[in-house]
A and B are shown apart, each in its own frame.
Chain A
Amino acid sequence: MIPQIEIDKNKCPTPYECKKCLQICPQAIFAVAPTKVERFKETAPEDYEVQAVFKDKCVLCMDCVKVCPTGAIKIKVGGR
């Protein structure tokens, strides 16, 4: 079963600046990207979002949950 990995955007307002989960994950399942892009403008840090993408690769080591300074990451396995 693919785990459910939810990241609370309210608890993780500027993921690019923190990026702890992105760099600790042994399976590199996370991605951080801008939610909007404008001409002649760099996207503001708050307009970035981190998502768990390659979830089928997650081995449930929970390193990301432990490293997250705000407790924004919740992992659940399937329907259990």
Chain B
Amino acid sequence: MCELCEKYGDNGGRWYLNPENYARPLYKKVEKEKEKEPMILTELQGPFYYKPLIELKDNPEAFEKMREGYLKFHETMSGQVVSLEDAEKMVEIAHPIARIDCICRRITRATLEDGEQRPRSCLGLGVGMFRWEEWPERYKGGVEFLSTEEAKEHIEHWHKRGMVITIMTFGTPYIGGICLCDYPDCLAIRMRLDYGIKPFLLKGHQVAKVNYEECTGCGTCVQRCQFGAIKMEVTTKKSNIDMTRCFGCGVCTYACPQDAISLIDREKLPGLKEEW
């Protein structure tokens, strides 16, 4: 079973569909002396935080040892891939929902000042959005509140263009965002795939499977997979998905012009149900 569902799910349900994991008060009584708390920069410095680990990449023993600490840290900041269908259920629960600039992309590709055309793909969730002006640097570019329907349209728009839907906690299990992610600028996908920081991004509750009857071997899906899980099988002229590598994002299912790929429940497959 998914570890997060086990700990934070509501009676065996998916943890991110449990309203408790979105709940926060609007106010707190002031504590004067705490007013001047220094800002923790981890989230805004993103990749800088992982630099010491990456420096050790060609020293496997030291790398493994240091990685332990990072894995521990990510128990408080965890993520998971979700399907479009589940993301649409999430925005029915989460309030408020606000469109913001992707913090990862801003850091790795400096897209923030690319004007109106920049992909403002992330959604911030929860009452923290009401107090964003307190830390303008964190929400640089501002926040734009969306209705539930607008949020659904937003997610669908980017997902159908090839972005992976992920969710992120800020103090697990509190869900603070729905991100529309794109390797390599997405730090979560990158740290999971390239450096094995598993709790930063767990695989989703589904996996993609090709229906060989329908697949025409056009290869469209291959271009879209961000996880390196799809290739064209030259001999059969069909697309081949390695389900052990698949994160279940569903991007390929929308890319396929034949509707030949479907998402199936991970937990129904004995060989994959412990693979997150």
Chain A contacts to B: CB under 8 angstroms:
1-2, 15-17, 19, 22-23, 27-28, 30-34, 36-43, 51, 53-57
Chosen A-B contacts, 6 in total, with CB atoms closer than 8 Å, are A2-B54, A19-B109, A37-B137, A51-B51, A55-B55, A56-B54
Identify the closest chain B residue to A17 (Cβ): B113
User: Which residues does chain A contribute within 8 Å of B46, judged by CB atoms?
Assistant: 31, 33
B108 within 8 A of A: yes
Q: Given the interface contacts A53-B48, A53-B51, A55-B55, does A32 sit within 8 Å of B136 by beta carbon?
A: no
Q: Closest approach, in angstroms, between the C-beta of B155 and any C-beta of chain A?
A: 24
CB of B41 within 8 A of CB of A37, answer yes
- B47 an interface residue at 8 Å Cβ cutoff? yes
Interface residues of B in 109-167 (CB under 8 A from A): 109-110, 112-113, 133-138, 140
A53 touches B137 (CB 8 A): no
Whether a CB of chain A sits under 8 angstroms from the CB of B58 is yes
Q: Which A residues lie within 8 Å of B51 (CB)?
A: 51, 53
Pairwise interchain contact B110-A37, C-beta atoms closer than 8 A: no
- Do B137 and A2 touch (CB < 8 A)? no
Docked-complex contact A31 and B48, CB < 8 angstroms? yes
CB distance from B267 to the nearest CB of A (A): 34
Across the interface, name the chain B residue whose C-beta is closest to A22: B110
Interface string of B25-61 (1 = CB under 8 A from A): 0000000000000010100111110110011011000
Min Cβ gap B54→A in Å is: 6
Contact A19 B58 (CB under 8 A): no
A57 to B137, CA, bound (A): 29
Cβ–Cβ contact A54 & B190, under 8 A: yes
Query: Whole-angstrom distance between the alpha carbons of A38 and B50 in the complex?
Result: 23
CA distance A73 to B140 in the complex (A): 27
Q: B residues within 8 Å of A by Cβ?
A: 39, 41, 44-48, 50-51, 54-55, 57-58, 107-110, 112-113, 133-138, 140, 184-185, 190, 194
Assess A30 versus B108: contact at CB under 8 Å? Given A16-B113, A42-B137: yes
Q: How far is the CA of A51 from the CA of B52 in the complex (A)?
A: 12
Chain A's closest residue to B190 (CB) is: A54
B46, B50, B58, B109: which has the most chain A beta carbons within 10 Å? B109
Take A19-B110, A56-B58 as given contacts and tell me if A33 and B184 are in contact as well, using a CB distance cutoff of 8 Å: no
**In-complex Cβ contact of A34 among B47, B58, B110, B137 (8 A):** B137
Q: Are B48 and A33 in contact (CB under 8 A)?
A: yes
Q: How far is the CA of A53 from the CA of B46 in the complex (A)?
A: 10
Interchain CA distance A22-B50 in the complex, whole Å = 17
Which chain B positions have C-beta within 8 A of A53? 47-48, 50-51, 54
- Min CB gap B34→A, angstroms: 13
Residue of chain B at shortest CB distance from A42: B136
* A1–B109 CA distance with the chains assembled, in angstroms: 25
B47 contact set on A, CB distance < 8 A: 31, 33, 51, 53-54
Complex contacts, A42 vs chain B, CB 8 Å: 136-137, 140
Q: How far is the CA of A73 from the CA of B104 in the complex (A)?
A: 22
Given contacts A22-B109, A42-B136, contact A33 B54 (CB under 8 A): no
Please name all residues of chain A whose beta carbon is closer than 8 Å to the beta carbon of B112 when the two chains form the complex.
16
CA distance A31 to B48 in the complex (A): 7
